[in-house]
């Protein structure tokens, strides 16, 4: 059943309308990517799931239950959360950061640490780094730790707010690959916020493109969106007119070579 | 130094009294100021009033305060408690603003991430906000410590014994060595407590000693 946004809206106390009448269902084991320009309400929407933001209209349901019926703290502990860069606890060693939620929910510290070390290895961090403090890791390593931390309590749901926004493109690519691999093994229900459309297309099974005010410009699978951008805003946002999106094939010695809009080769059609 | 040799027990006794008066006053100041600082940080509007009254209290002259406190609390004028209360009032007034700043110094992203992970309100205070507020808080506590240790001496004026007695007595009887001992003793105590605080700070904030990767903090 997954997560259902049922006609949710959010107007902040200062009158800012962040989201209006948003409806969407994220099936279990699927990844929803929320993309949009800055201030389009992505974070607001994502935070409704773990009740960091309470919607002013409508409701959010997890497996059919309104999150408002659930205890806030218990709900949050049951949901993995990957904040933007800077969300690790600076005063806790890396291993203790990862063990945070299991320890909060009563797992003995020793057992939680052992599990945390195993998780670090799983996200590609040398367990020996577990003794360090977050400031002693690179940005990319910190984000891996954040992912490990979100997975530690074995949640069914993961919320990720621009998890790889603060690292350089090559590192980001590596982190995305890692997430795809983990997701293939673990099958979490993921809500991912990003303003990088390529990241949304790579990671999202379903993509929602938002415009200011939390208004949906288009919803669909990456393929559907690329195939038929709903309007000029979407075309523009996904860069439909960019050279690397406008691919065509040319025949070279009997093989179909794919070239981009500038005629540069991208690959070969199998 | 012969005066000191002859009066060693007396000086040590006054030093002990001095510690007994200043340490409880500092501890009370820290506890009350942290509570007030938390309130001020959490509810900024109430905070303005709280912090405003605190600095007003700090401007009350010491001698009248020493006379008013026994009247208000019904305790004897010459008891150490009177002085401890007075010093705690000053210490709190001095520290409350810094305590509010200390909570404000905690990275909002870190708090928010901790909250989103499922820290309860109490957990957030004890496990996240307080430890991360320590560095700024400690700088304030150091100021209060030094100021309290030096303020204890005024108790001598109303007959509450401390190293201050060496000053009043030394002036009255014109014993220069006694005055010097009183001044240096007070300073030495302040510096020692300050050094202890710095050491304590290192112990409770081990992450600050860790050198950041690639220069970024
Ligand atoms: N606590 C708040 N109080 C008032 N307005 C807010 C608050 N949080 C967000 N907003 C406003 O709501 C709108 C949506 O904010 P939100 O953070 O959800 O956007 P976003 O899509 O995540 O943007 P970004 O890509 O910049 O992170 C913005 O106009 C923002 O200024
Ligand atoms: Mg955001």
Q: Are B68 and B32 in contact (CB under 8 A)?
A: no
Tens digit of each residue's pLDDT (9 = 90 or more) over B126-147: 999 999 999 999 999 999 999 9
pTM score, whole prediction: 0.88
Give the residue on A whose Cα is nearest the Cα of B131. Answer: A91
**CATH number assigned to the domain comprising residue A198:** 3.40.50.300
Q: Number of structural domains, chain A?
A: 2
SS3 label, residue A262: coil
Residue B19 clears pLDDT 80, i.e. is over it = yes
Chain B residues within an 8 Å CB radius of A100: 117
**Domain containing A251: what range?**
243-270
Q: In which band, very low, low, confident or very high, does the pLDDT at B1 lie, cut at 50, 70 and 90? A: low
Inspect the interface and report whether the beta carbons of B107 and A86 lie closer than 8 Å: yes
Distance A169 CA to ligand 1 centre (A): 25
Q: What is the DSSP letter of B125?
A: I
Contact between B110 and A90 using a beta-carbon 8 Å cutoff: yes
HSE-CB at A9 with a 13 A cutoff on CA atoms is 11
Q: Tell me: do A235 and A252 sit in the same domain.
A: no
A157 and A268 share one domain:
no
Let me know whether A247 and A175 are in one domain: no
3-class DSSP state for residue B75?
A: coil
Ligand 1 lining (C-beta closer than 6 Å): A 12, 14, 16, 18, 36, 38-44, 195
CA of B119 to the centre of ligand 2 (A): 21
Q: Does A30 lie at the interface with B, CB-CB under 8 angstroms?
A: no
Residues A115 and A153 in one domain: yes
Shared domain for A200 and A260, answered yes or no, is no
| A141 in the same domain as A109 | yes
Are both A142 and A152 inside the same structural domain? yes
Burial B174-188 (b: 16+ CB within 10 A, else e): eeeebbbbbbebbee
Q: Is the pLDDT of residue B217 over 50?
A: no
Query: How high is the pLDDT of residue A198?
Result: 93
In angstroms, what is the span from residue A43 Cα to ligand 1's centroid?
7
Alpha-carbon distance of B211 to B98, in angstroms, equals 26
Q: Is B131 on the interface with A (CB under 8 A)?
A: yes
Closest-CA distance of chain A to residue B117, Å = 6
Nearest CA in chain B to A84: B109
Mark whether A142 and A260 lie in a shared domain: no
Q: How confident is the model at residue B43 (pLDDT cuts 50, 70, 90)?
A: very high
| Same domain (yes/no): A59, A14 | yes
Residues A233 and A253 in one domain: no
CA distance B160 to B182: 15
- Beta-ladder partners of B140: none
Instruction: Give percent above pLDDT 70 in chain A.
Output: 100
Q: Find out whether A226 and A241 touch, Cβ atoms under 8 Å.
A: no
CB pairs under 8 A between A and B: 76
- pLDDT recorded at residue B77: 84
Tell which atom from ligand 1 comes closest to the C-alpha of A41.
18
Residues of B whose CB is below 8 A from A105: 118
For residues A258 and A211, membership in a common domain is answered with no
Q: Looking at the CA of A196, which ligand is closest?
A: 1
**pLDDT lower than 70: segments of chain A:** 1
| Same domain assignment for residues A21 and A150 | yes
pLDDT digits (tens, 9 = 90+) for B92-110: 999 999 999 999 999 999 9
Closest by CA position to A257, among listed B153, A265, A55? A265
């Amino acid at each position: 059943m997954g997560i259902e946004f049922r006609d949710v809206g959010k107007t902040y106390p200062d009158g800012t309308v962040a989201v209006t009448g948003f409806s969407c269902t994220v099936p279990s084991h699927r990844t929803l990517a929320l993309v949009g320009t800055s201030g389009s309400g992505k974070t607001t929407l994502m935070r409704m799931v773990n009740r960091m933001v309470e919607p002013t209209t409508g409701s959010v349901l997890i497996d059919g239950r309104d999150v408002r019926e659930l205890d806030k703290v218990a709900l949050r502990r049951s949901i993995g959360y990957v904040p933007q860069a800077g969300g690790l606890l600076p005063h806790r060693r890396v291993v203790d950061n990862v063990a945070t939620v299991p320890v909060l929910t009563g797992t003995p510290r020793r057992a939680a640490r052992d599990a945390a070390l195993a998780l670090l290895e799983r996200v590609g961090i040398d367990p020996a780094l577990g003794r360090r403090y977050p400031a002693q890791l690179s940005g990319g390593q910190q984000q891996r730790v954040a992912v490990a931390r979100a997975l530690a309590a074995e949640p069914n749901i993961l919320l990720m707010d621009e998890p790889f926004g603060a690292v350089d493109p090559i590192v980001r690519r590596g982190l995305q690959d890692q997430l795809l691999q983990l997701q293939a093994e673990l099958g979490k229900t993921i809500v991912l916020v990003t303003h990088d459309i390529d990241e949304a297309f790579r990671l999202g099974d379903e993509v929602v493109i938002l415009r200011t005010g939390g208004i949906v410009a288009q919803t669909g699978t990456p393929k559907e969106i690329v195939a038929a951008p709903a309007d000029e805003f979407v075309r523009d946002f996904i860069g439909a007119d960019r050279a690397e999106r406008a691919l065509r094939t040319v025949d070279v010695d009997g093989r179909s070579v794919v070239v981009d809009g500038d005629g540069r080769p991208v690959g070969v059609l199998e | 130094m012969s005066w000191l040799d002859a009066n060693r027990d007396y000086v040590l006794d006054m030093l002990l009294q001095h510690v007994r008066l200043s340490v409880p006053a500092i501890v009370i100041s820290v506890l009350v100021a942290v509570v007030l600082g938390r309130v001020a940080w959490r509810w900024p509007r109430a905070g303005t009033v709280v912090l405003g009254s605190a600095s007003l209290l700090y401007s009350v002259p010491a001698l009248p305060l020493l006379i008013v406190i026994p009247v208000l609390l019904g305790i004897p004028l010459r008891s150490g408690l009177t002085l401890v209360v007075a010093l705690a009032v000053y210490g709190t007034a001095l520290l409350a603003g810094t305590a509010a700043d200390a909570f404000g110094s905690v990275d909002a992203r870190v708090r928010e991430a901790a909250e989103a992970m499922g820290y309860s309100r109490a957990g957030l205070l004890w496990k996240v906000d307080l430890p991360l507020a320590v560095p700024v808080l400690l700088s304030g506590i150091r100021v209060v410590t030094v100021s309290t240790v030096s303020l204890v001496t005024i108790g001598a004026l109303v007959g509450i014994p401390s190293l201050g007695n060496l000053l009043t007595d030394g002036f009255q009887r014109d014993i220069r060595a006694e005055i010097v001992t009183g001044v240096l003793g007070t300073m030495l105590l302040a510096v020692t407590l300050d050094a202890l605080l710095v050491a304590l700070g290192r112990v409770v904030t081990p992450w600050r000693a860790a050198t950041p990767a690639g220069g970024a903090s």
